[in-house]
Amino acid sequence: MLIVACSLAPGAAATAGPAESLSEKFAYCQDCHGPNGQGYRGFYPIPRLAGQQTQYIENQLRAFLERRRKNAIMLNVAHGLHGNMAAALAARFNAAKVAPIGGAPQTLAAQGKDIFDHGIPEKDVAACAACHGPAAQGTGEIPRLAGQLYEYVVFKLVNWSKERGQIASQPDTSLIMEPVAHSLSRSEAQAVAAYVSSLR
């Protein structure tokens, strides 16, 4: 069933509709995103949703639906939500308590922490902590990065312009990341990813 505008509106009540229970839909999400949304490390890294900001999850579902963010699978998922299911799923993932699955090269973490805390002034790259918070917890529509899969963060940073902000007439908060992602070298992106993936 197609999501109507109000079903993904900020502040929607976290209740599921009758067609499919919240538990069933949550289980479906875990098929790709892993147990309790811990993420999945594979050929195509799938992000950790456990502990993620509820507003961010809802906003991204809306972005998939409106094709501001490209992903054919997630477009179908967003189309399949009904009523207040998006808000209910976001709340369920936000409350999930599961340890990060790790696996990042820790030799890069120190450099990543420096970039995260201080940015790269000579490249006009702002500190990641300025928006994502000193512990990378995020807030509101700014995502939590703490514990996110290393491979996923690297992939997103180096491919940002290919997936985000596809409709210039409908900019969203992801636009602020475009110059940051563009300015980071691959090795710098890997360092940041190694650091945030180690956080809880």
Which of 35, 19, 47, 21 has its CA nearest to residue 147?
Answer: 47
Residue 192 lies in a domain: yes
Does pLDDT of 159 surpass 50? yes
Higher pLDDT: 161 or 143? It is 143
Q: Which of 12-26, 37-51, 116-130, 180-194 has the lowest mean pLDDT?
A: 12-26
Q: CA 164, CA 193: separation in Å to the nearest integer?
A: 18
* CATH, residue 121: 1.10.760.10
Distance in angstroms (rounded) separating the CA atoms of residues 128 and 120: 10
Q: Provide the β-strand partners of residue 120.
A: 125
**DSSP per residue, 87-133:** HHHHHHHHH----------GGGHHHHHHHHHH-BGGGTBPPTHHHH-
Under 8 Å between Cβ of 71 and 17: no
Do 110 and 193 lie in a common domain?
yes
36 and 118 inside one domain: no
Query: Which of 147, 152, 136, 45 is closest to 101 using CA atoms?
Result: 147
- Please indicate, yes or no, if residue 101 is contained in any of the structural domains: no
| The 3-state secondary structure of 5-44, one letter per residue | HHHHCCCCCCCCCCCCCHHHHHHHHHHHHCHHHCCECCCC
Last residue of a domain, one of 57, 76, 95: 95
Question: 136 and 82 share a domain?
Answer: no
Write down which residue in 48, 66, 95 finishes a domain: 95
Q: Total domain count for the chain?
A: 2
Rounded Cα–Cα distance for residues 129 and 137 (Å):
9
pTM comes to 0.86
d(CA 113, CA 119): 9
Q: What is the pLDDT of residues 39-77, one digit of tens each?
A: 999 888 999 999 999 999 999 999 998 888 888 999 999
Helix (H, G, I), strand (E, B) or coil at 86: helix
Q: Which domain holds residue 65?
A: 5-95
